Structure 1
Amino acid sequence: MVPPVTFRSSWLLTGALVLLPLGSQAQTAASLHAVLAQIYDEMIPLCSQLTGVARGLGSFAALFYIAVRVWRHLAAAEPVDLFPLLRPFALGFCIVAYPSVLALINGLLKPVTTVTEGMVTRSNQAIETLLERKQKALEQTDTWQMYVGLSGEGDRDRWFEYTHEALGEGPLESLGHDVEFAMAKAAYRFRNSVKEWMSEILQLLFEAAALCINTIRTFTLIVLAILGPLVFGIAIFDGFQATLTAWLARYVQVYLWLPVANLFGSIIGKIQENLLKLDLQQIDSTGDTFFSPADSAYLIFLLMGILGYVAVPSVASYLVQSSGSQILQMRVTQYLSRTASGIQALLASSKTDRS
C-alpha cells in the first residue's frame, strides 16, 4: 500500500527537487570547464602540423630579410650590422621550439587563473556557510513554524493564536479556519515555489553565461595557438613585424577572459555574502527575512551577473593592448610626410632655377 503524501513529505520533495538541480548545475558547470581545459590540451599538439609550413615560410622570409639588409650595406659601402640580422634567427628558433614557447606563455599566465579561481572558491564556501546559518535561523521564525514546522504540515494552533484572538471557535468557525489555514499554507508554498523556480532558471542562465565565456575563450585560444607558427613566420617579413605583437596581445587578452570572469563572480559572491549577513541580522531582530536565494534581491543580482559577463571581453582588452599597429601607422605617416616635404622642396627649387 502506497503511503499518503503528507504536506511535510511534499514540502521536502519540493525542496529536494529545487536544491538538487542547483547542485547538479554547479557540478555540471565545473565538469564542463574541466572538459574545455582538456580539449585545449588535446588540440595543442595540432600545432606541429603547421610547424613545417611555418619553417618553409620563415626560411624564405629570413633569406629575403637578410639579403635586403646585406645588399643595402654593401651598396652603401658600409660595414654590415649583424645585430639586426639576429631577428629572423630568433623567430626561427621560436618556430622550431613553438610548443615550448607556448608552454612558457601559458605558464606565466596560469597563476592568474589559479589565484582568481581560489577567490571564487572561498567566496562560495562562505556563502554556503551563511546559507546553512540562515536556514537554521529561518526554522526558528513564526512563519516557518506555522506553515511548515517539524512535521511539515504546519501548526494550526500556533497559526490561530498568531492570526486570531483567542476567543474560542465553534464547529462552523473551526471548519472555516481550517479552510483559511489550508489556503494560507498553499499560498505560502506556492509563493516560495515560484520564487525557487525563478531562481533556478536564472541560476542556470548565470552558469550558462560563464560557460559561454569560457567556451568562446577556449576555442579562440585553440585557433590562435594552432596558427601561432605561421604568425612567427610572417612576422619575419618587413612590414609585418606588428603581426607578432598583435598575436601575442590578442592571445593574452583572450586568456585573461577567465580570470576576469572569476573576479566578476567573486564580486557578485561578496555582494551576496553581505546581503546574507544583513538577512541574518534581520532574522535575529525581527524574526523575518527579506533576502533568500528565491527573493527578488538575489534574482536582480543574478540578472546583473548575467549582463556583466557580456562585458568580460571588453574589460580584458583594457589590461593588454598592442601598439604595434599604431607604430606602423605612425611610421607610414612620417614617411608620407617626409615624401611630401621632399616633393615640395624639389618643386620650390625648380621654380627658383627657372626664375
Structure 2
Amino acid sequence: MKEWWRVVFMATVGLVLPKLAGAQSLAEEIGGLHGVLDTLYDQMMPMCKDLIGVGSGIAGFAALFYIGHRVWRHIANAEPVDFYPLFRPFVLGFCIINFSLILGLINGIMKPTVMGTASMVKSSNQAIEVLLQQKEEALKKTNKWQMYVGADGGGDRDKWLKYKYGIDADDEGMFESVGNSVDFALEKAGYNFRNSVKEWMSQVLEILFQAASLCINTLRTFQLIVLAILGPLVFGLAVFDGFQHTLTVWLARYINIFLWLPVANIFGAVIAKIQELMIQLDISQIDQEGNTFFSATDVGYIIFLIIGITGYFTVPSVANYIVNAAGGSALQQKASSMVGAGISGAGTVAAMGGGVAMAGASMAADAMGNAASGMKGDMASQNQSAPYFEDKLKGK
C-alpha cells in the first residue's frame, strides 16, 4: 500500500511540475519593472526646480559673507584684493540656477557606461535564446521525447511499445494492454519529472536573479532621486567656508550610486555566461545520452549561480573601488543585509533541492519502473517483458 502511495505521489509531482512554467513569465515581469524605475527617475527630475530658489537664496547669502570676509581681510592687511577665489560663489550660483543642465551633463557623461554594460547583457541573452532553441530542437529528435511527449504532448504509445518490447499494439492481449498502459503512463510521468526538475530550478534562480537586480536598481534610483532633488541645496551650502567638502562628497556619491547599474549589468553578464554553459552541458547530454539529467556538474553551476545572485549585494562595494564615497548609506546597508540574507536562504534551499533532485529523480524513476513491472507481473506473463531493473542494468 505504501508503494502505491509513493507511485501516486511521484506521478502527481511529475504532472504538476511542468505547470510551473508560468514562473518564467513572472521573472520576465519582474525584469520589466526596470523600465518603470527609469520613467520614475525622469518624472521626478523636474522636482529639482523646487529647491533651486532655496539653493540660490542660501548661495547668495553665503556669497555675501564669503566675498565680504575676504575683501575685508585684504583691505585690513593692506594687501591687493585677489579676485580669483572670489569667482567660486559666482560659479556655484550659476550651477544652481542651471542645475538641470549640470545634472544632465553628469548623466550624459555617465550614460555610456550603462549602455555599454547593457549591451553585454543583451548579447549574452541573445546567445542564451539561440542555445535554448538548439536544445529544444535536439530534444525533439530524441526517441524518448517522441515517445513520452510528442507533438501533441501526450506521447506515442505505439512507438514506445515498438522501442521497448518490439511489438505492435495489435499484438497485445487484453490484460497485457492494461499493464502496458499503466507502465507507459508511469514512465512518461517519470520522464516529465526528471526534465521538469532542472527547468523548475532554473526558473527559481531566474526569479531570484531578477528580484536581486530589481532591489539594487530600486535602491539606486531612490538615492539618485534624493541626491538630485537636494543638489541645489548642497551647492548653496558649499559656498560657506567649512562646507566646501559637501560639493565633492555629493558629486562622489552621485557618481558612485550611478555606477551601481553598470556594475550590476556586469554581474548579470557573468551569470548569463554561466547559464550559457549550463545549456551547452544540457545539449551535450542530449547528444550523448538522448536525455538531460542532473549531475554533479549541474549542482556546481547552480552553486555558482547562487554565489552570483548573492554577489549582487556587493555591487555598492565594487562601485566604491571605482569612485570611493566616504561612509555608507544606512538604508543601503540595511536593505542589502536583509535582502541578501533572504536570497542566501532561498539559495540554500535551492541548492538542497538540487542535491535531493539528483537522488530523488533517480529514485522516482526506479520506483515507478519497479511498480509498473510488478503490476505487469500480476496481469501478464513475465516472459513477454523483462523486469525493469534488468533493463536498467542493460542500459535501456
State TM-score, norm by structure 2: 0.70
Checking the alignment, whether the CA contact within 8 Å between 1:147 and 1:185 is kept in structure 2 is yes
- 1:35 to 1:150, Cα distance in 2 relative to 1, 3 A: closer
SS at match of 2:80: coil
Residue in structure 1 matched with residue 118 of structure 2 by the alignment: 117
* Cα shift readout 1:74-93 (whole Å, capped 9, x = no counterpart): 22222121111111111111
Partner of residue 204 from structure 1, selected from 203, 207, 212: 207
Checking the alignment, whether the CA contact within 8 Å between 2:198 and 2:294 is kept in structure 1 is no
Aligned amino acid, residue 22 of structure 1: Q
Residue in structure 2 matched with residue 321 of structure 1 by the alignment: 324
Residue 62 of structure 1 pairs with residue 86 of structure 2 = no
Checking the alignment, whether the CA contact within 8 Å between 2:223 and 2:257 is kept in structure 1 is yes
User: Unaligned regions of 5+ residues in structure 2, if any?
Assistant: 1-13, 328-396
Partner of residue 273 from structure 1, selected from 270, 276, 284: 276
Checking the alignment, whether the CA contact within 8 Å between 1:245 and 1:322 is kept in structure 2 is no
- 1:257 to 1:123, Cα distance in 2 relative to 1, 3 A: same
Checking the alignment, whether the CA contact within 8 Å between 1:141 and 1:288 is kept in structure 2 is yes
Residue in structure 1 matched with residue 306 of structure 2 by the alignment: 303
Residue in structure 1 matched with residue 42 of structure 2 by the alignment: 41
Partner of residue 29 from structure 1, selected from 28, 31, 36: 31
1:205 Cα deviation after fit: 2.3
Checking the alignment, whether the CA contact within 8 Å between 2:124 and 2:272 is kept in structure 1 is yes
- Root-mean-square deviation (CA, aligned residues, Å) is 3.0
Q: Distance in 2 between matches of 1:129 and 1:156?
A: 31
Give the number of equivalent residue pairs: 309
Checking the alignment, whether the CA contact within 8 Å between 1:203 and 1:302 is kept in structure 2 is no
**Which stretch of structure 1 is more off in the superposition, 114-123 or 155-164?**
155-164
1:25 Cα deviation after fit: 3.4
Q: Distance in 1 between matches of 2:66 and 2:140?
A: 77
Q: Distance in 1 between matches of 2:161 and 2:303?
A: 35
Q: Distance in 2 between matches of 1:223 and 1:29?
A: 24
Q: Distance in 2 between matches of 1:192 and 1:284?
A: 15
- 1:21 to 1:286, Cα distance in 2 relative to 1, 3 A: closer
**Which stretch of structure 1 is more off in the superposition, 303-312 or 241-250?**
303-312
Checking the alignment, whether the CA contact within 8 Å between 2:195 and 2:292 is kept in structure 1 is no
- 1:93 to 1:212, Cα distance in 2 relative to 1, 3 A: same
Q: Distance in 2 between matches of 1:104 and 1:50?
A: 19
Residue 128 of structure 1 pairs with residue 129 of structure 2 = yes
State TM-score, norm by structure 1: 0.77
SS at match of 2:151: coil
**Which stretch of structure 1 is more off in the superposition, 178-187 or 217-226?**
178-187
**Which stretch of structure 1 is more off in the superposition, 67-76 or 114-123?**
67-76
Checking the alignment, whether the CA contact within 8 Å between 1:221 and 1:251 is kept in structure 2 is yes
1:101 Cα deviation after fit: 0.5
- 1:143 to 1:20, Cα distance in 2 relative to 1, 3 A: same
SS at match of 2:263: helix
* Cα shift readout 1:191-248 (whole Å, capped 9, x = no counterpart): 4445444433332222121111111111110000000001101111111111110100
Residue in structure 1 matched with residue 248 of structure 2 by the alignment: 245
SS at match of 1:182: helix
Checking the alignment, whether the CA contact within 8 Å between 2:17 and 2:197 is kept in structure 1 is no
Residue in structure 1 matched with residue 83 of structure 2 by the alignment: 82
The aligned runs of 1:1-355 (5 Å cut-off) are 18-19=20-21, 21-23=23-25, 25-27=27-29, 29-30=31-32, 32-156=33-157, 158-160=159-161, 172-290=175-293, 296=299, 299-322=302-325
Checking the alignment, whether the CA contact within 8 Å between 2:41 and 2:225 is kept in structure 1 is yes
1:48 Cα deviation after fit: 1.0
Q: Distance in 2 between matches of 1:99 and 1:291?
A: 55
1:174 Cα deviation after fit: 4.8
Q: Distance in 1 between matches of 2:193 and 2:284?
A: 26
Checking the alignment, whether the CA contact within 8 Å between 1:275 and 1:291 is kept in structure 2 is no
1:43 Cα deviation after fit: 0.9
Aligned amino acid, residue 84 of structure 1: P
